């Protein structure tokens, strides 16, 4: 039988382990302000992506990238941001304005989404390796 102290230690270890996993899969939608989105990374030039193909934004060995992908106000299409963390691929969904911030990823890709008969997305990114 497991005593109360051992059980408490096991539960605490499980909570810490889950917190680490949650951090590696965390993303959030933030405002379109470049100063807010890029506070911890270097802003790229504005990029244009045409057609239904993926473009790599960042890549690292291990889940150590913090990345913000921002849709430029002049973009005709939305952007779908995909990222790899904990050996799985995730999607931000379609972002038509503002930024998506991803914490703890190993790879980040973007794709233009067909919006109002356009497949031309304009975006910029900010990448920081931790």
Could you give the number of structural domains in the chain? Answer: 1
pLDDT at residue 63, as a whole number:
93
CATH at residue 100: 2.60.120.10
Residue pLDDT, tens place only, 21-60: 444 457 677 765 656 677 767 788 999 998 778 999 999 9
Domain range for 13: 4-129
Report the C-alpha gap between 79 and 94 in whole angstroms. Answer: 6
pLDDT at residue 12, as a whole number:
45
Give the residue from 96, 106, 111 showing the smallest Cα distance to 55: 111
pLDDT at residue 38, as a whole number:
75
Q: Strand, helix or coil at 89?
A: strand
Q: Which residues pair with 71 in a beta bridge?
A: 98, 123
pLDDT-based confidence at residue 117 (cuts at 50, 70, 90): confident
Mean pLDDT of 75-98: 90
Q: Strand, helix or coil at 56?
A: strand
Residue pLDDT, tens place only, 100-112: 889 899 999 999 9
Report the C-alpha gap between 130 and 128 in whole angstroms. Answer: 6
pLDDT at residue 15, as a whole number:
41
């Amino acid at each position: 039988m497991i005593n109360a102290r051992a059980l408490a230690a096991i539960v605490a270890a499980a909570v810490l382990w889950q917190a680490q996993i949650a951090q590696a899969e965390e993303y959030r939608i933030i405002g379109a302000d470049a100063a807010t989105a890029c506070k911890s990374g270097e802003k790229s030039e504005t990029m244009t992506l045409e057609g239904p193909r993926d473009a790599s934004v960042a890549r690292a060995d291990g889940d150590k990238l913090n990345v913000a992908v921002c849709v430029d106000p002049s973009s005709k299409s939305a952007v779908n941001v995909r990222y790899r963390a904990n050996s799985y691929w995730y999607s931000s969904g379609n972002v038509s304005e503002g930024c998506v911030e991803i914490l703890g990823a190993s790879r980040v890709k973007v794709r233009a989404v067909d919006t109002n008969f356009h497949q031309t997305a304009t975006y910029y990114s900010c990448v920081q390796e931790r």
